[in-house]
Amino acid sequence: MIPSFWFRWLQVATIGIILYGAGLIVMPGLTLDFFSLIFFGKTGGFQAQYPTAIDYIRFIHGDLGSIIFGWGVTCYMILNGPFRRVEPGGWEMLALPLAAWFVTASAHSVYTGYWQNIIFNIVFLSLYTIPLAATRKYFNKKS
């Protein structure tokens, strides 16, 4: 059985993903300013740097938010199903997509010159790697 501390940690992290995705959709101004601060060191950076593309950037943020929202819901279902029941593959269902996301998103960040996003990715990744590392042993036990 997964200790409740680690399970709750993962639940909170996953609810955070869902809320983050929703935030990208319903609070585009706030999320634009957040990423402007990361990439340009000030709020309003996107608006100043790309005034003619701002509507498209809002669209992409909303579309990305929808994808993140759906991914979060999927993770939540896995977490409360196969992971919680310590079923074979339950750990991998959370860990492997997370690793795939981190590698591809970070590589894309470097490729496009927005290396600052990797810092955001590492913080996000740590929300999962710490409890996943702590719970791996429960999935390694032989039945």
For residues 34-47, give the mean pLDDT.
Answer: 80
Place of tokens 């585009």: 28
Q: Is it the case that residue 42 has pLDDT exceeding 90?
A: no
Q: Is 41 left (phi over 0), alpha (psi -120 to 50) or beta?
A: left
Q: What is the pLDDT of residues 47-66, one digit of tens each?
A: 777 778 888 888 988 999 99
The one-letter amino acid code at 27 reads M
pLDDT digits (tens, 9 = 90+) for 88-117: 999 999 999 999 999 999 999 999 998 888
Domain that holds residue 73: 4-140
| pLDDT given at position 64 | 93
- Who contacts 98 (Cβ-Cβ below 8 Å, separation ≥6)? 125, 128, 129, 132
- Inter-residue contact 23 to 65 (CB < 8 Å): yes
Q: How many structural domains does the chain have? A: 1
Give the DSSP letter string of 53-88: GHHHHHHHHHHHHHHHHHHHHHHHHHIIIIITTT-T
The reported pTM is: 0.86
User: What is the length of the chain?
Assistant: 143
Tokens found for residue 104: 């591809």
